[in-house]
Structure 1
């Protein structure tokens, strides 16, 4: 497994120029980034996340989120 580190604000701004600072949606694949989904998101009826700004909230059913992220590796990395 590769080591993981938090990106700096400058790195995030360069990777997500269309998003507000701190409002990065969890769809790294849409930006050509390797992405890992936390296993704790499995089995939820609903998933909500910021849509790239601090005013928009995206809602997906658990099934829709699974379909969107189904082929992306799933790992346990949160507590």
Structure 2
């Protein structure tokens, strides 16, 4: 099991208890949810977007897709998906496509979908395609005090 160094250091600095869940290799967060045996609605998919001010992460349930129009309205500026090279340059300790939603660990702003607000337990990518990090919903919210919360997703 591998946890991205930046993510591990961030969680440890914040004194947040977490549990790692190892699962079979999964190419998507929906697959990761199924492999780990946890509900898709509780698994966070992080999507990197960019605008004229830089980069931000959109954190949505694995059962949903980021709706860029809604996200643009929430942040009051147009956004578009970041490139793969942008992702790799920001998340240097993560495997390609395995983004944790904790932007503060990487100096990136985060917008959290409101569907995640009431979840008692949340799971997210640990930096590879084989590890989920489990935290309580309360602890996740404590990790993201400056994150915006808005309805930014649509169901698959």
TM-score for the superposition, normalised by structure 2? 0.48
For 1:34 and 1:70, the matched residues in 2 are separated by 11
Segments of structure 2 that go 5 or more residues without pairing to the other structure are: 1-75
Which residue, 114, 134, 154 being the options, matches 1:59? 134
Q: Secondary structure at the match of 1:37?
A: strand
Q: Secondary structure at the match of 2:110?
A: coil
Deviates more, 1:15-24 or 1:61-70: 61-70
Shift of 1:70: 3.0
Structure 1 vs Structure 2 CA RMSD: 1.0
For 2:93 and 2:109, the matched residues in 1 are separated by 18
Residues 20-76 of structure 1: CA distance to partner in whole angstroms, max 9, x if unpaired?
Answer: 111100011211112111111011111001111112110011111111123311111
For 1:60 and 1:70, the matched residues in 2 are separated by 15
Which residue, 52, 70, 76 being the options, matches 2:145? 70
TM-score for the superposition, normalised by structure 1? 0.91
Q: Secondary structure at the match of 1:36?
A: strand
For 2:104 and 2:80, the matched residues in 1 are separated by 18
Q: Flag the structure with larger Rg.
A: 2
Residue correspondences, number: 79
For 2:120 and 2:109, the matched residues in 1 are separated by 25
Which residue, 79, 82, 93 being the options, matches 1:7? 82
- Kindly report structure 1 stretches of 4+ aligned residues shifted beyond 2 Å: none
